[in-house]
Amino acid sequence: MRGWMPALLVLLMTAGCASSDRSAGSAVPWPGAAWPISPPEAQGLSGPTLAALDAEFASGQHGYIDAMLVVRHGHAVLDRQYAQDYDRLFQEEGAARGPYNYHDPDWHPWHQRGDLHTLQSVTKSVTSALIGIAIGRGEIPGVEVPVLRYFDESTIAHVDERKRRMTLRDLLTMTAGLKWDEDSLPYTDPANPCAVMEASDDWVRYVINRPMEHEPGKVFQYNSGASQILAHILLRATGRQADDYAREHLFGPLGIHRFYWKRTPTGLPDTEGGLYLTRHDLARFGFLYLHDGVRAGRRILPEGWVTESMQPRSDPDAGGSSGIKYGYQWWLIPYAQEGRFAFACLGYGGQRLLVVPEHDLVAVFNGWNIYDKPALDVQLALDRVLAAVTGS
């Protein structure tokens, strides 16, 4: 379903298979085949406030927005999809095709023109969950394990004591210390290190061979390559590829049965940006973090992992005024009073997953603003959704 539909029609189409399950001793409703449906007002949200944002998206005021889903108290209160003519936008004579060309409408933003949407760097947060599961299962000893434990050091370039001190925690918090700058150039620029990595035959080898620039654990430097190393660590530690591991230990238990995960030339899943999910299933993932890693009485993430992941462990703004912090491959977006954060997964082009435990709220936004429009501002998205809260 690519075109826009009124929310009521979408809800009526899915209501027949909607259900909520409750485990013994648990009062947390979980979606069955679809999210339970509710008018916004029944869940303490203002319908007109949400409708105003919906109208802005439908009019193109915020660029190329593909979808929005708002879930409160386990009920979908607004579910929208917006049609965009990406074939026209992507018309470029002689343009290369394929899964790593952002201008190929067969791959971006929808996978093969279906309902699986590219998540880009939201993939990093899902990969973080897999690391937590592997730690909980005893397959990884903990976040302090040295990264080089999973490599043959004799085959790595620029090995020094700083690289030997680099830990799994440093990868998770974007403080690896490797020389890397993917913020100064567009991702479509072939000189961007992320683009260089994606053009290489061995992504992990390219990243781990980078020289060190900082002491690990000290300086935030957004590094998609560090997130790709996590795929290598998962394979070495568990014997399973990240997508297969997710199918058994994360997606399956969450009721997520359809996904696509791009692979790199060496066969590793692209854990820095290659996952595609429906917006409804991305909301399931957010709902898991809303409920401390437990689904209907079944613990999926190890106890304490959500709390650990959402600690403000590094500072992307380097002491600036935004107040945004970073945990274990999750962004922490401030709101209301000091010290209060919403959990956020952010991806290129406008992929946004917001989780606000205080308000029992999950919101998903998909888009593909890679041209003349900026990606949907996460603070704007958060503020507009929170403005709709009218009661508990």
- Whether residue 2 is predicted with pLDDT greater than 50 in this model: the reply is no
pLDDT of residue 319: 75
What does the pLDDT average to over 266-281? 98
Q: Which tens digit of pLDDT belongs to each residue from 45-68?
A: 999 999 999 999 999 999 999 999
Q: Which residues sit opposite 167 in a β-bridge?
A: 146
Residue 294's pLDDT is 97
User: CA torsion, points 169, 378, 384, 20, in degrees to nearest 10?
Assistant: -50
Q: Name the residue with tokens 């660029």.
A: 63
The confidence band for 350, taking pLDDT boundaries of 50, 70 and 90, is very high
Q: What is the pLDDT of residues 207-226, one digit of tens each?
A: 999 999 999 999 999 999 99
Q: Are residues 135 and 235 in the same domain?
A: yes
Statement: residue 131 has pLDDT above 90:
yes
Instruction: Report yes or no on 71 lying in a domain.
Output: yes
Please report which confidence band the pLDDT of residue 159 belongs to, taking 50, 70 and 90 as the band edges. very high
d(CA 214, CA 196): 21
Does residue 31 sit within a domain?
yes
Average the pLDDT over each of 17-26, 137-146, 175-184, 207-216 and give the range with the smallest value: 17-26
- Domain shared by 12 and 66, yes or no: yes
Amino acid letter for position 170: D
| Strand, coil or helix: 365 | strand
Give me the pLDDT at residue 16, please: 34
Q: Quote the CA–CA distance of 38 and 190 in Å, as a whole number.
A: 47
Same domain, 12 and 144: no
Q: Give me the numbers of helices (H) and strands (E) for the chain, helices first please.
A: 14, 14
In one-letter notation, the amino acid at residue 365 is F
Regarding whether 220 and 79 lie in a shared domain, the answer is no
Strand partners, 260: 276
Contact 86, 114 (CB under 8 A): no
DSSP class of 248? I
The closest of 306, 259, 303 to 286, measured between CA atoms, is 306
Q: How confident is the model at residue 189 (pLDDT cuts 50, 70, 90)?
A: confident
Q: Which residues of 239-271 are buried (b: 16+ CB within 10 A; e: fewer)?
A: ebbbbebbbebbbebbebeebbbbebeeebbbb
pLDDT number for residue 97: 85
pLDDT of residue 10: 35
> Would residue 91 count as lying in a domain?
no
Threshold 0.95, pTM exceeds: no
Q: Report pLDDT for 28.
A: 55
Counting beta carbons within 10 angstroms of the beta carbon of residue 102, is it exposed (0 to 12), middle (13 to 18) or buried (19 or more)? middle
Provide the 3-class DSSP secondary structure of residue 201. Answer: coil
Indicate whether 78 and 163 sit together in one domain.
no
Please check the confidence at residue 124 and state whether its pLDDT lies above 60: yes
Q: What share of the chain in percent tops pLDDT 90? A: 82
For residue 109, is it within any domain? Answer: no
Phi and psi based region of residue 231 (left: phi greater than 0; alpha: psi -120 to 50; beta: remaining): alpha
Residue 262 lies in a domain: yes
Q: What is the per-residue pLDDT for 33? A: 87
H or E element, residue 72: strand 65-72
Same domain, 38 and 130: no
- Output the pLDDT for position 84: 96
Q: Which domain holds residue 150?
A: 119-275+293-332
Asked whether the predicted pLDDT for residue 38 surpasses 90, the reply is yes
DSSP 118-132: E-TTHHHHHHHHHHH
Is the pLDDT assigned to residue 386 strictly greater than 60? yes
Average pLDDT over residues 337-358: 94
pLDDT in tens, 73-101: 999 999 999 999 999 988 875 667 889 98
Average pLDDT, the chain: 91
Contact in structure between 243 and 269 (CB atoms under 8 Å):
yes
Q: What integer pLDDT is reported at residue 128 of this predicted model?
A: 98
Token output for 220: 């935030």
What pLDDT does residue 41 have?
98
Residues 175 and 67 in one domain: no
Count the Cβ atoms, other than its own, within 10 Å of residue 153.
10
Considering 12-21, 197-206, 318-327, 334-343, the range whose residues carry the highest mean pLDDT is: 197-206
**Does residue 51 lie in a domain region?**
no
Is the alpha carbon torsion for 160, 312, 294, 270 positive or negative?
A: negative
- What CATH number is associated with residue 177? 3.40.710.10
* Omega of the bond leading into 109 within 30 degrees of 0 (cis): yes
What secondary structure does DSSP assign to 294-322, as a single string? EETTEE-SPTTHHHHHTS--B-TTTT-SS
Question: Does residue 324 share a domain with residue 197?
Answer: yes
Residues 68 and 178 in one domain: no
Same domain, 9 and 142: no
3-state secondary structure 150-176: HCCHHHCCCCCHHHHHCEHHHHHCCCC
Look at residue 344 and tell me if it is in a domain. no
CB 306 within 8 A of CB 293: yes
pLDDT of residue 24 exceeding 50, the answer is: no
CA atoms of 163 and 150, how far apart (whole Å):
13
Q: Indicate whether 50 belongs to any domain.
A: no
pLDDT tops 80 at residue 374:
yes
Same domain, 191 and 315: yes
My answer on whether 80 and 125 are in the same domain is: no
Mean pLDDT of 9-35: 50
Paired with 345 in beta bridges are 353
Share of the chain above pLDDT 70, in %: 92
pLDDT band at 1 (very low <50, low <70, confident <90, very high): very low
Is the model's pLDDT at 26 over the cut of 50? no
Q: How many domains does the chain have?
A: 2
